[in-house]
Amino acid sequence: MPQRVTTARHALDRLGDAAASAGRPMTFMEVCGTHTMSAARCGLHSVMPATVTLLSGPGCPVCVTAQGDIDLIIEAAFVPGVTLCTYGDMLRVPGRRGSLERARSRGADVRIVYSAMDAVKMAQQLPGRQIVFAAVGFETTAPASAVSVTHARELGLTNFAALVSHKRVIPAMTGLLESGSVHVDGFLCPGHVSVIIGSEPYRPIVDMYGIPCVITGFEESHMALGLACLAEQVRDGAAELVNLYPEAVSSGGNQVAQQLMHQVFEPADMRWRGLGVIPRSGLALNQEHREFDAQLRLGLSAPEDREPRGCRCGDVITGGCVPPDCELFESVCTPILPIGPCMVSSEGSCQAWFKYKRLHVAPIAQMTPTEVTS
């Protein structure tokens, strides 16, 4: 046990040394909901040097899902004869007509599934119902959706379909850099997405944008070491791709999962909360599997994006502000009665902030422009 404590402390010492000798503030961004929650839970922000800022980027799958796509899922739940299957994270996200939880209380058949395959099993068990699976999430989750679609096809199921709004993390990162809305000195890359896609896809961010990328796991020592590695690169004027999670992440990733995704999905323009539409940043069912597209099958049109009034989730997930900058935070938006998805999701920045009271970090509105952007 003492050795593990020393490891985290050693990493923080390295981070402190690099931050001190760099002579300028640094802003890093993690792009993973589990990193967001892990950093908040272990108090990482409270032990980082004052000149180092760690922002949460577009990494929480629930938070990045555009409001229109959430409304579409809720609309599907209200279609007569439909059983809507969702991962638990999505249940309480508010939409135009309330949340899925509210829809269930009003008579819609909404079920929480642990795995996409549970939805396929349900389609076998309930032949008289249309089973619609809400397929959201990044590349970690997309292969499971691909397997469910291929399995439904093998079984000849005509009552299984998916509302697909899967997203790809690399286009989100490049989209954020292209937008120029936030200055980032380095990315802490998502460990479990990287298990699937591998480390190599981050290389263009390093080579083309000169931004260091470090892949880490989720333990506090891992994350602290990742931050130290980023800070040392900034201090040295370097930009490299470093994989600090080699026990799970290879350079090429999980080839079987990639192949399955390729068989079922194709890259598609995707709308994101806070980022708008990013070309080829999402996955859609390809022509061969379009018969499983729930939106087409149910004849639903995609609702427009209408953010809840006053909600700044879009800014929170793009590094434009931190939760306390939002006027709704802790006043009317709480985990019990959330207004925006970042307060709903167990991986959302607002909920992490609320639960672990990162009050020592000043709201961005109170920082000087230099602290925020340089």
Contacting positions for another protein (CB under 8 A): 1, 4, 32-34, 42, 59-62, 87, 89, 114-118, 136-138, 140-141, 143-144, 147, 190, 192-193, 195-196, 217, 219-221, 247-248, 254, 256-257, 260, 345, 347
> Cα angle at 85 between 83 and 90, to 5 degrees?
130
**Residues 6 or more apart whose Cβ sits within 8 Å of residue 244:** 214, 215, 216, 217, 222, 225, 226, 229
| CA distances from residue 57 to 72, 108, 227, 263 in whole angstroms, order as listed | 24, 33, 15, 29
- How far apart CA 243 and CA 236 sit, in angstroms, is 18
Of 240, 302, 244, residue with least CA distance to 268: 302
Shortest distance, CB of residue 125 to another protein, whole angstroms? 15
67 or 233, CB closer to another protein? 67
147 or 311, CB closer to another protein? 147
Q: Please, is 281 exposed, middle or buried when counting C-beta atoms within 10 Å of its C-beta (0-12, 13-18, 19+)? A: buried
61 or 274, CB closer to another protein? 61
Shortest distance, CB of residue 11 to another protein, whole angstroms? 14
* CB contact burial 6-29 (16+ within 10 A = b; e otherwise): ebbeebbebbbebbeebeebbbbb
42 or 285, CB closer to another protein? 42
Shortest distance, CB of residue 140 to another protein, whole angstroms? 5
- How far apart CA 33 and CA 45 sit, in angstroms, is 15
232 or 347, CB closer to another protein? 347
8 A C-beta contact, residue 193 and residue 35: no
What the block records as the tokens of 155 is 């079984």
* CB contact burial 78-113 (16+ within 10 A = b; e otherwise): ebeebbbbbbebbbbbbbebebbbbbbeeebbbbeb
Shortest distance, CB of residue 61 to another protein, whole angstroms? 5
Shortest distance, CB of residue 357 to another protein, whole angstroms? 14
Helix (H, G, I), strand (E, B) or coil at 2: helix
- How far apart CA 67 and CA 274 sit, in angstroms, is 10
19 or 195, CB closer to another protein? 195
Shortest distance, CB of residue 216 to another protein, whole angstroms? 13
67 or 258, CB closer to another protein? 258
- How far apart CA 335 and CA 355 sit, in angstroms, is 9
> Cα angle at 369 between 367 and 372, to 5 degrees?
70
270 or 328, CB closer to another protein? 270
Shortest distance, CB of residue 112 to another protein, whole angstroms? 12
Shortest distance, CB of residue 340 to another protein, whole angstroms? 17
- How far apart CA 101 and CA 319 sit, in angstroms, is 29
Shortest distance, CB of residue 29 to another protein, whole angstroms? 16
Shortest distance, CB of residue 147 to another protein, whole angstroms? 5
33 or 274, CB closer to another protein? 33
- How far apart CA 322 and CA 52 sit, in angstroms, is 15
33 or 175, CB closer to another protein? 33
- How far apart CA 121 and CA 108 sit, in angstroms, is 20
Task: Give the torsion through C-alpha atoms of 59, 177, 220, 249, to 10 deg.
Answer: 70
